[in-house]
Amino acid sequence: MQDILGFDQQYTKEEILQTVLPTVQQLAEAIGQEILQLNNNVPPKAIMLVGGGSLTPELPTLLSEALALPANRIAVRSIDAIPTITREAHIEATPELVTPIGIAIAAKKMPIQYMSLTVNGQIVRLFEVKEMTVGDAM
């Protein structure tokens, strides 16, 4: 890799993992706590990780430890988990594609409506997620 000054630097995978692992541990613990809070302090039977963040090194292992789940009960899923999706052969079925495809599916099912109005000569677009007020435009 090149550093900010343009000098080539080399690090082993192990060196990078050693650096990021404490933060990944904190992330896994925070995710685990949030899951427990949302699930009445009961660990789920299984967890599916999707999106680019699911590729965080050691996240599935550390999350299984945080929730006391067997490692095989936490899976990283790709867009193959969405049965209605077809893709060109050259597009890999990777986990990071799940998020934008999920957003696209949700937008098609329930399009977000917005209104355009002018405030002080400038066009402002407001998403209509509730009854809008003048204060929202400001």
Burial class (CB in 10 A: 0-12, 13-18, 19+), 125: exposed
Q: Two tokens at 2?
A: 């090149």
pLDDT beyond 80 at 138 = no
The tokens for 5 are 């000054």
Coil/strand/helix, residue 92: coil
> From CA 126, how far away is CA 106, in angstroms rounded?
19
Average pLDDT estimate for 7-33: 96
Say what the pLDDT of residue 78 is.
86
Say if residue 98 is exposed, middle or buried (CB neighbours under 10 Å; 0-12, 13-18, 19+).
buried
Q: Among 12, 14, 96, 100, which residue's Cα sits nearest to residue 58? A: 14
CA angle 64, 61, 48 (to 5 degrees): 65
User: Average pLDDT, whole number, for the chain?
Assistant: 89
Res 44: pLDDT: 95
Confidence bin at 103 (pLDDT 50/70/90): confident
pLDDT at 21 over 80: yes
pLDDT, tens only, 30-82: 999 999 999 999 999 999 998 899 999 999 999 999 999 999 999 998 888 77
What is the per-residue pLDDT for 99?
85
pTM (two decimals): 0.69
* Phi, psi values for residue 94, rounded to 5°: -105, 155
Degrees (nearest 5) of the Cα angle 126, 130, 132?
Answer: 55
